[in-house]
Amino acid sequence: MAASILPEELLASLNTSIECRQLQIQQTACLLASDFPSPPAIILHGPEATGKTLIINALLEAIDTPSAIVRSKECITTRHLLERTLTEVQKGLGDTARSVDGRCESISAFVVQLQRLLEDQKKYILVFDNIDRQREAAPTLLPALARLGQI
């Protein structure tokens, strides 16, 4: 099934560079494919240093869907995380990005600005790497981020 989503040579290259993760690469490629609908949120969970971030980075470089990766553990507060996320989304959109105020006082302000940024996008992949290690996270942060796919 994944062979039709990614070219065979690209899949072989990924499997060679990321050893022993063929199944995970194929399953994740199916979930992220631009031609098919994706679930609103995907959670990759597992022990440390098992290749989750490596697989996501490699697949996002290989597919043509616009995306951004936010390194959550580098953000100290929820506000810092939300502002960094808007910045990364703008970078991911490149020249087509709309201009938004990068300041976010709350999650609701973040959602409004994110909607404005992604208004013309059919699909956009937003990855929060190590979100479980985000410092000083508000108790409503993870449930709010999990619902982003519904907007």
> Which tens digits make up the pLDDT trace of 16-35?
999 999 999 988 988 887 77
Residues 36, 90, 92: CA angle, nearest 5 degrees: 45
pLDDT at 3: 41
Q: 71 phi and psi, to 5 degrees?
A: -85, 95
CB 27 within 8 Å of CB 68: no
CB 60 within 8 Å of CB 77: no
Give the C-alpha separation, 123 to 37, whole Å: 9
Q: Which helix (H) or strand (E) holds 71?
A: strand 67-71
pLDDT at 1: 43
- 51-55 average pLDDT score: 93
> Which tens digits make up the pLDDT trace of 89-100?
998 888 777 777
Q: What is 100-117 written as a DSSP string?
A: -----SSHHHHHHHHHHH
Give the C-alpha separation, 90 to 138, whole Å: 24
pLDDT at 103: 82
